[in-house]
Amino acid sequence: MIGHQQSPEASRRLLSPRACTAITLFVVVTCTYAIPALAQDLKFDFGSAKPAPGWTQVAPSTLYSRERGFGFEPGAKLEPIAKDSTERVRGRGIASSTPFFFSAAVPEGNYRVTATLGATGTGTLTTIKAELRRLMIENVRVYPSSLKKVTFVVNVRTPSIKGGSEVRLKDREKTTEIWAWDEKLTLEFNGGHPILCALEITRVDVPTVFLLGDSTVCDQPREPYNSWGQMLTRFVKPEIAVANHAESGESIKSSLAARRFDKVFSEMRPGDYLFLQFGHNDQKEKGEGVGAMTTYKKDLEMIVAKTRAMKGIPVLVTSMHRRNFDSQGKIVNTLGEYPDAVRLVAREMNVPLIDLNNMSASLYEALGVEGSAIAFKSGDGTHHNNYGSYQLAKCVIEGIRSLHSELASKIQDGVASYNPARPDPASKFDIPPSPQTAAEKPAGN
């Protein structure tokens, strides 16, 4: 399943971000820049009762503004919920029969969020997404007249790059995708009548997994499109952050030109990871000498070398197949030599490889020629929906697990091994969709 196999001992040496000699430790310490903290942790108490000292009261009618620095996004339909004496939470909670969004202004960085969820006499199921629909908490059940705390880590970023430049955003990133780049941390509360009682937001210093790639990786802003990068957050412990810098329509060349790599390298610290999955759009670039085994391979080698120079850990991911079958029900390769170029760089430079190309073939063939449509947006053989991206994220998690790396220890407890030849039944998949729907398809193919 993993294209480039190493011994567990070799993989641990390669991928352990904190395992180093005394000399290397000196380099890590001197290269790590200080992360400025919030002036204080943010603590929000929802409802109308007087909050405890140190907590900020948020009424159901409190809308977000830059001046206030916190509040609900427009469209929230909230109602206060009084709790009985057995529920030890400051003040009251708020509930809604439809999804709602809450935002808090924070500096760029990684944040540990703890949400206290409540339930009335019927109990609730709550799903939480962050920023652009990154799945954080999936269908957490809170039983009647009880509370539950859930914790996760969210990465927040802006276009600014240390040194005075910035990422060249596309127009769509300034409009429908602006929540991926703005000055605030935004949370979506979804599910069966979710009740939010309290929120605590704390800046944390944890390793970061940076993602760079195209529309099959990025945080898709609207239903029904979705990508594995925004599902990956569901499967990792709140001991690591996922920073998804992928964008629709991107190739390595265009991402370099847009300074997306500059942005990642400006934020990368020793022990951070960089997952790379390109190919779909690189394949369409033209020019003398342009190709999988020439310019594309050289760019991959350059990025691997740069990541290692930053004391980061590169991980290469081959592109998943498009939904294209032959008459025997087998997947047809439409990506040319691009997956092989990734495998070759992994082998020649001893880079960890997750062969999503092979795993996606097993997944699509298991679903079948007609059945595989359930993993894609209708009429689209490249871009996935929630179910499809969830299955691909499980493939990536299984790839991480198979590498026997330090990163594998960050997979959430209870996440079972995954065989793409035996995908989860779509009939049992039940992540509530976000309220925004797409008027246009993602860029790229």
CB atoms within 10 A of CB 417: 9
Mean pLDDT across 176-194: 95
CATH label of the domain that carries residue 237: 3.40.50.1110
- Order of strands, sheet of 70-72, starting from the edge strand that comes earlier in the sequence: 70-72, 100-105, 184-192, 124-130, 134-142
What do you get for the CA distance between the two ends of the chain, in Å? 25
For residue range 166-175, list pLDDT tens digits in order.
Answer: 999 999 999 9
> What integer pLDDT is reported at residue 412 of this predicted model?
97
Percent with pLDDT over 90 in the chain: 79
pLDDT band at 21 (very low <50, low <70, confident <90, very high): very low
Mean pLDDT, to the nearest integer, of 362-374?
Answer: 98
- What's the confidence (pLDDT) of residue 52? 86
Cβ-contact 117, 148 below 8 angstroms: yes
Domain stops at, among 156, 188, 205: 205
Domain carrying residue 138: 39-205
For residue 136, the SS3 value is: strand
Tens-place pLDDT, residues 101-140: 999 999 999 999 999 998 877 788 999 999 999 999 999 9
What does the block give as tokens for 89? 């939470």
Last residue of a domain, one of 158, 179, 205: 205
Q: Per DSSP, which regions of 47-180 are E strands?
A: 56-58, 70-72, 79-81, 93-95, 100-105, 109-118, 124-130, 134-142, 147-156
Q: Tell me the torsion sign for CA atoms 214, 187, 208, 394.
A: negative
Rounded-to-integer distance, Cα 80 and Cα 195, Å: 9
Residue 215 has pLDDT above 60, yes or no: yes
Q: Does 78 lie in the same domain as 12? A: no
273 vs 20 pLDDT, higher one: 273
Structure confidence by residue, pLDDT tens digits, 187-196: 999 998 899 9
Q: How confident is the model at residue 388 (pLDDT cuts 50, 70, 90)?
A: very high
Higher pLDDT, 92 or 425: 425
Say if residue 165 is in the same domain as residue 254.
Answer: no
50-83 pLDDT, tens per residue?
A: 888 999 999 999 999 999 999 999 999 998 886 5
Tens of pLDDT, residue by residue over 226-272, are 999 999 999 999 999 999 999 999 999 999 999 999 999 999 999 99
Domain end, chosen from 179, 205, 231, is at 205
Is residue 288 scored above 90 in pLDDT?
no
Angle 16-34-15 from CA coordinates, rounded to 5°: 10
Per-residue DSSP letters for 63-75? Answer: B--TTT-EEEPTT
DSSP structure class, residue 80: E
Q: Is the pLDDT of residue 355 over 80?
A: yes
pLDDT surpasses 50 at 90: no
Question: CATH number, domain at 196?
Answer: 2.60.120.430
Q: What is the DSSP string of 254-292?
A: HHHHTTHHHHHHHH--TT-EEEEE--TTGGG--STT-SI
Residue 114 and residue 178 share a domain: yes
Average pLDDT of the chain is 89
Confidence of residue 19 (pLDDT cuts 50, 70, 90): very low
Are residues 188 and 210 both part of a single domain?
A: no
pLDDT of residue 32: 35
Question: Is the domain of 302 the same as that of 401?
Answer: yes
Strand ordering across the sheet containing 208-213: 241-244, 208-213, 273-277, 313-317, 353-354
Region 418-444 average pLDDT: 93
In angstroms, rounded to a whole number, what is the distance separating the alpha carbons of residues 6 and 216? 27
Q: Are residues 21 and 156 in the same domain?
A: no
Same domain for 274 and 138: no
Do both 122 and 173 map to the same domain?
yes
Give the per-residue pLDDT at 38. 60
Residue 105 phi/psi, 5-degree rounding, is -75, 130
Radius of gyration of the chain (CA): 22
> If you average pLDDT over residues 350-354, what whole number do you get?
98
Question: In this structure, are 391 and 278 located in the same domain?
Answer: yes
Residue 258 and residue 178 share a domain: no
Number of domains in the chain: 2
User: Residues 117, 87: one domain?
Assistant: yes
pLDDT of residue 145: 81
Judge if 143 and 230 occupy the same domain.
Answer: no
